[in-house]
Amino acid sequence: MRANIPTVARILDAIRMRKLSLFLLALIAAANAPAAATVDEEKPHGRVCLSLFEPGPPEKEEAFQISAPPGAGKTVRAYIDASDKCMVLIAAMTKDGKLVNGWRPQLSEVPAEYEEILLPQSPVKWDWTTASGPFDLYVLFLATGSKEVEEAKKLVDAMQNPKVDDRILAMQTGKLKELIGRIASDKDKVNQAPASEPEVGGVFRGTAFPWRQFAQSVNFSADRPGVVIISPAAEKK
């Protein structure tokens, strides 16, 4: 009987992860429903854009597409700003609930007046040296000091250790998915932008990347977090 305990544990873990994956799939499906309204720029709102950066010379940067070939030194970055001061939680997860290429989630303060921040923060990097399967990037704009921020901070801080055991990291990732799911699933208390793919743009060489041209936006408030789900997809042929 004792020999079967590890097998039972693996089965229970698999069932739990499948339930979480199905929950997030339902969340994404709901996000794809027609939006009730566009972003109201007269109210607090945040913006985000995912890019692919390649060091030079010359440096190159473009809106991220999952079809982009991986390469040495290439990294994925997230540009974020907001009209009002807030916190942002950002995490990229594969369809089966794992961190994309081991990318650690980020939680950061966002200044007011559209002062941009760039994530992940050093020394963390989101390397694009190995391709990934389809994934979703979850971006949550949260009120400073909210209970969700406190819970997210504990998880995100614990997940930054690059030497953390894979099993522990998987458990932490599952808890983070649960937190994101709880926040984003309450339609009466969340402003949620439709899930979407980044717009395709040109490659910018040796010049500042005009990320706001490709950004996606969402309103937020003290009692209504803003949620953006970006689903990078392969180029359509």
Q: Name the domain count of the chain.
A: 1
Task: Give domain status of residue 236, yes or no.
Answer: no
| Confidence at residue 36, expressed as pLDDT on a 0 to 100 scale | 39
The token pair that represents 82 in the structure block: 């907001």
Q: Is the pLDDT of residue 219 over 50?
A: yes
pLDDT above 90: percentage of residues in the chain: 54
Task: Give domain status of residue 235, yes or no.
Answer: no
Q: Of the segments 5-9, 29-33, 79-83, 164-168, which one has the largest average pLDDT value?
A: 79-83
Task: Give domain status of residue 6, yes or no.
Answer: yes
- Mean pLDDT value across residues 70-96: 95
Task: Give domain status of residue 237, yes or no.
Answer: no
- Mean pLDDT value across residues 27-43: 59
The predicted-structure confidence for 8-18, as pLDDT tens digits, reads as follows: 555 555 555 55
Bigger pLDDT: 44 vs 237: 44
Long-range pairs of 14-20 with CB within 8 A, sequence gap ≥ 24 = 16/174, 17/96, 17/97, 17/174, 20/97, 20/174, 20/177, 20/178, 20/181
Task: Give domain status of residue 50, yes or no.
Answer: yes
Q: Which range, of 55-59, 130-134, 229-233, averages the lowest pLDDT?
A: 229-233
State the helix-helix crossing angle for 147-159 and 166-185, rounded to 10 degrees.
Answer: 160
DSSP symbol at 160: T
Q: Is the pLDDT of residue 33 over 70?
A: no
| Confidence at residue 90, expressed as pLDDT on a 0 to 100 scale | 97
Q: Is the pLDDT of residue 37 over 80?
A: no
The predicted-structure confidence for 94-144, as pLDDT tens digits, reads as follows: 988 899 999 999 999 999 999 999 999 999 999 999 988 888 899 999 999
Q: Which range, of 60-74, 86-100, 143-157, 200-214, averages the lowest pLDDT?
A: 200-214
Task: Give domain status of residue 85, yes or no.
Answer: yes
Nearest to 33 by CA among 233, 232, 229: 229
Nearest to 46 by CA among 147, 116, 105: 116
Burial grade of 30 (CB within 10 A; 0-12, 13-18, 19 or more): middle
- Range(s) of the domain holding residue 221: 2-230
Rounded to 10 degrees, the C-alpha dihedral 214/65/197/18 comes to: -140
End-to-end CA distance of the chain: 54
Q: Which H, E and C letters describe 62-120, residue by residue?
A: EECCCCCCCCCCCEEEEEEEECCCEEEEEEEEECCCCEHHHCCCEEEEECCCCCCEEEC
As a whole number of angstroms, the distance between CA 74 and CA 56 comes to 10
Start-end of H helices in the chain? 5-31, 147-159, 166-185
